[in-house]
Structure 1
Amino acid sequence: MVNRLTPREAMYYFLDEGSSTVHVGALIIVDPTADGAEPGLDYQSLVSLIEGRIQLAPRYRQLVKPVVLGLARPVWVDDPDFDINFHVRRAGLPRPGATEQLQDLVGRILSRPLDPQRPLWEMYLIEGLADGAMAILTKTHRCVLGPDSPELSGLLLDAEPEFGEPAEDIWLPTRAPSQAQLAVDAIAEGLARPGELVESIVGNGPVGGLRDLVTSTASRATEAISQVTNSAPPSRLNQATTSTRSFAVASIPVAEAARVAEQYRCGQRDVELAVVTGVLRRWMLSFTDTLGAGATVRVVLPIGSRPADDEADSGTGRPRDGWFGEDGPGFVTDLPVGEANPTVVLAQVAGLATRNAQSASRQTTRVSPLLPDLGVVPFGDAAARFFTSWNRHTYNLPIAVVATPIGQRWVRGVPVRELFGIPALLANRALAIAVMTYADHIEFAYLGDRGVMSDLPALVDYTHDAFDEITDAEGGR
């Protein structure tokens, strides 16, 4: 029995294209010089650690094998030539090892597509940071993630300084089915469900030029989504032009954000959205002289959730770090970038998450489950591209927000100083933002299309300025 990609996994797999990078990940800053840090974190020990832990998630030793003529969705097969040293790599920063140099390197790494002939993930140990710290960058294709396959950072990080090594794993790849076998299996499945076979051939195969079925399916999707959201305002944020990426990060103190939230009787998430609104306002004013008072940016917020720190996976006993790969509902809302008064901005965004999550007229499922739930079982390449082309005008910017704070984490006994999520940047989007609370800071990560967001590093200063403006206004109340 073949292990076929689910409709959702197939959708993410087919969404890869020239200007779209359907991989997510994390930038993990570790401090080997910290008090109590276990010695010995280096390339070889990192390879050994991740090699032991990916046995808990078999997808990391499997590759995606398409089916001839697109007769069915692709299948997962063991990589017969799996080489852990190909996937775990080493990089170094030139002196002085500044944060800007790290961000530039991360952007270049994220610009490169994953090799489709190998398991769809990479990990980098980056050395040479200015203060003796090291960075670990994870990069995982979104189709790999699932209930039993967390993002690499979820396998790598521990909730306690003590770390355990899994038992030695003797892994032998199973023989991959031939294309003839896959074709026979697909036809057999198709005879049992002939409608799916027709959809597979039209959606996945070379007959994809005959788009009648795909178009009708996507039209059903269009009709469904148009009931829950209107067109987003025109914006440079929908003008992606290249596959090259820029990356930048910024942090603000949790304690100060909590004080602002208490002062205004709102939630920390509201403060985060107000900061993002201020960042976007400053960015827009950098290329236009005027900004109307009613100007908005439409964002989609897939509010992630994760188990409490004391919840553990029953199979492994390790904490289930679920800040990647959630498939819950999100909502679409408008951020008031035309408003100059930070107090008014905070008042307007306060409670957006609660109000919108409870409002059926504004609630939407994220792109990931939408089309499969509408019945597109194979979800082929043509359908994926049709949908993303249409979807470019439904919102301007995706913001991945982790709802629950993440406590202190360690990598092989070495404390994690900073942790930044890396969002996927789909076609027709020039910017994606990830926001999470880690330890005592709120971490903002910005991933942009270098052709549109050539000034992305400026968003770091905009983040601090926007937050300072809010705290200054709070102090003057």
Structure 2
Amino acid sequence: MERLSGLDASFLYLESPSQLMHVCAVMVLDPDTMPGGYSYATLRSTLDERVRKVPQFTRKVRRVPLDLGHPVWVHDDHFSVDHHLHRMALPQPAGHAELMEMCGHLAGLPMDRGRPLWEMNVIEGYRDSDGREKLVVFTKMHHATVDGASGANLISYLCSLEPDAPPLALDVLEMDGRDPGSLELFGRGVLNTLARPLTIPKMLGPSLGLITETIGRARHGTAMAPPLTAPRTSFNGTITGDRVIATADMDLEDVKAVRRATGATVNDIVLSIAGGALREYLSDRDELPESSLLATVPVSVRGESKHDGGANKVSALFTHLGTDIADPLERLKAMAEENKNAKEHHNAISADTLQDWAEFAAPRTFGLAVRAYAGMRLAEKHPVIHNLVISNVPGPPIPLYFAGARIDGMYPLGPVFHGAGLNITVLSNNGVIHVGIIACDQSVRNPDKLVAKFPSELAHLKAEVGA
């Protein structure tokens, strides 16, 4: 048994049929590297053996009576890999468009909270643009279970450095295997509820210091971009539960060439490319606002947090994307300066601030608030908090093999929210930057047109700097 942290539990409380809180990934695999060739039975057997060794794959959520405390993780005594691993085939002939349509459908389906919160869908019958047959695994893991870093760590455990090698090592979670009684959970919930107000004084000091720091930086023009100042776009409203997905690739060496020519970081370049792609996409739709779009960028605090428990060790910063700047090089320069200020401002914030305050999240209050917020369509009535979420996840610089199949593409996909129905995540993998876009289908109807602009924006930027 292990209690969920307030931040982990918040992702459960924030979930609704339209605001799904799982993270996904599209893994495109080369089945030709599998020893003995591909067979679903072999892949199932391999995964069954590996996931049973990691508690994160075999634990489920159990609520505390009367919701007096955050839920706890308990071992699923009836765990079966067949509840989580599903086999399906694309209608033929099947290419990229058919694959994206199926993945979008799967992303819009909620998971069963009575079982461990992960799924894998093995999709057969896909052929890439060169006509080669590929195997696709579409994964879903609830955000209460993983953040970006821990999710990548868990998936990597299922992978190896050679097709027939053992899986990579993983620091597995040690968890008490007891299934506590209702009376024990009730007692723990009462004690946690009574003790919670005692933690407020120790959090007020850092929080007040943050306010003072922010005011000072704002006076000197070095504060990160403030929320609630974003312009309104078509993807900043109330969302539905239907999802659309699009993917693209960029050459990591091209990004490094721009980095060498400009001194900007890879993250600066990626955000600048995203800004250029969004500028062109909105301009094509006659929706480009005069002021820059504002993005939330998740930041891992795994190495800085003082909390031992909890799957999510994240914070966030806000940054403008330079969508109001036409010149790619000028946009990159502005992006680098903006990110420098945002990082310095973010570093002045305690790594545990978000996790500490999340402990006060109340299950019933959060659930009712989310439903009222959506039902009253409040996202369309107050100033826009942020336009979208963008994540940049560093991946392996060498090939990885999933159950013996080489990973040719790994496209991560984060959740979308009321008020911000677009999420862009990029991941570097073996010399390629994979771009994954997920959105509410009412917010972004043609995500393929947006994602197609990422490689062309990188080409423009590379030409501009003469790299």
Structure 2 length-normalised TM: 0.79
Q: Find the partner of 2:363 among 374, 380, 384.
A: 380
Q: Partners in 2 of 1:297 and 1:464 — Cα distance?
A: 20
Match of 1:257 in 2: 255
Deviations 1:182-233 (A, max 9, x none): 2x2244335645525899xxxxxxxxxxxxx9xxx9xx99x97997734231
Contact 1:54/1:60, CA 8 A, preserved across alignment: yes
Q: How far, CA to CA, are the matches of 1:126 and 1:364 in structure 2?
A: 43
- In structure 1, stretches of 5+ residues that fail to align are 167-172, 200-212, 308-324
Q: Quick check: 2:385–2:419 contact (8 Å CA) kept in 1?
A: no
Aligned in 2, Cα 1:119/1:193: closer, same or farther, shift over 3 Å? closer
Q: CA deviation at 1:116?
A: 1.4
Contact 2:422 2:440 in 1 (8 A): yes
Tell me, what secondary structure is at the counterpart of 1:358? helix
Q: Partner of 2:298 in structure 1?
A: 302
Distance 1:371 1:267 in 2: 26
**In the alignment, what sits opposite 1:106?**
103
Q: Which residue of 2 aligns with 1:79?
A: 76
Aligned with 1:430 (options 421, 429, 452): 421
Counterpart selection for 1:345 from 331, 337, 353: 331
The answer on 1:443 being equivalent to 2:445 is no
Q: In terms of mean alpha carbon deviation, does 297-306 or 225-234 score higher? A: 225-234
Rounded Cα–Cα distance in structure 1 between residues aligned with 2:167 and 2:354 = 40
Over the matched positions of the two proteins, sequence identity in percent amounts to: 21
Alpha-carbon contact 2:279-2:288 (below 8 Å) kept: no
How far residue 96 of structure 1 moved from its aligned partner, in angstroms, is 2.8
* More off after superposition, 234-243 vs 384-393: 384-393
- 1:282 maps to 280
Distance 1:150 1:282, change over 3 A: closer
Deviations 1:247-284 (A, max 9, x none): 01111111222222222232222221121011110221
1:136 aligns with 2:137: yes
- Counterpart pick for 1:43 among 40, 54, 62: 40
Q: Distance in 2 between matches of 1:165 and 1:348?
A: 43
> Does the 8 Å CA contact 1:140/1:151 hold for their aligned counterparts?
no
- 8 A Cα contact 2:245 2:437, kept in partner: yes
Matched residues in 1 for 2:421 and 2:192: separation? 40
Report the Cα distance in structure 1 between the residues aligned to 2:296 and 2:350, rounded to whole angstroms: 10
AA aligned to 2:266 is Q
**Partner residue of 1:459 out of 430, 450, 454:** 450
Counterpart in the other structure of 2:26: 27
- Do structure 1's residue 331 and structure 2's residue 330 form an aligned pair? no
Aligned amino acid, residue 365 of structure 2: A
- Separation (CA, whole Å) in 2 of partners of 1:243 and 1:68: 29
Give the conservation status (yes or no) of the 8 Å contact 1:240–1:449.
no
Residue 9 of structure 1: aligned partner:
8
The amino acid that maps onto 2:42 is S
Letter in structure 1 aligned against 2:238: A
The 1:61/1:290 distance shift into structure 2, 3 A limit, reads closer
- CA offsets 1:64-122 (integer angstroms, 9 cap, x no match): 12233212222223334322112101121222321121111111100000011221110
1:311 corresponds to: none
Q: How does 1:381-420 map to 2 (within 5 A)?
A: 381-383=364-366, 386=369, 393-403=384-394, 406-420=397-411
The Cα of 1:377 is off from its aligned counterpart by: 4.6
User: Secondary structure at the residue paired with 1:128?
Assistant: strand
1:354–1:52 Cα change, 3 Å: farther
| Structure 1 residue 472 displacement after superposition | 3.1
Q: Which residue of 1 aligns with 2:171?
A: none
Q: Which residue matches 2:161?
A: 159
For these two proteins, the number of residue pairs brought into alignment is 422
Distance in 2, Cα, partners of 1:365 & 1:240? 32
For each residue in 1:116-174, what CA deviation from the matched residue of structure 2 results, as whole angstroms up to 9, or x when unmatched?
122111001111111111111111111122798866523322233332279xxxxxx97
Relative to 1, partners in 2 of residues 1:394 and 1:196: Cα closer, same or farther, differing over 3 Å? farther
Q: CA deviation at 1:333?
A: 0.8
Q: Secondary structure at the match of 2:452?
A: helix
Matched residue of 2:52: which SS? helix
CA distance in structure 1 between the partners assigned to 2:349 and 2:18 by the alignment? 25
Match of 2:308 in 1: none
- Alignment-mate amino acid for residue 464 of structure 2: A
Tell me what 1:359 maps to. 345
CA distance in 1, matches of 2:350, 2:196: 27
Say which is worse superposed, 421-430 or 82-91, in terms of deviation: 421-430
- Equivalent residues of 1:27, 1:421 under 8 A apart: yes
Q: Tell me how far apart the structure 2 counterparts of residues 416 and 124 of structure 1 sit (CA, whole Å).
A: 16
Query: Does the Cα contact within 8 Å between 1:71 and 1:197 map onto a contact in 2?
Result: no
Do 1:30 and 1:133's aligned partners in 2 also have CA atoms closer than 8 Å?
yes
Aligned mates of 1:448, 1:192 — CA distance in 2: 41
User: Which residue of 2 is the match for residue 316 of structure 1?
Assistant: none
> So what's the TM-score if we normalise by structure 1?
0.78
Aligned CA RMSD, in angstroms, stands at 3.6
C-alpha spacing 1:364/1:25, structure 2 compared with 1 (3 Å): farther
Please, which of 266, 269, 280 is the counterpart of residue 268 of structure 1?
266
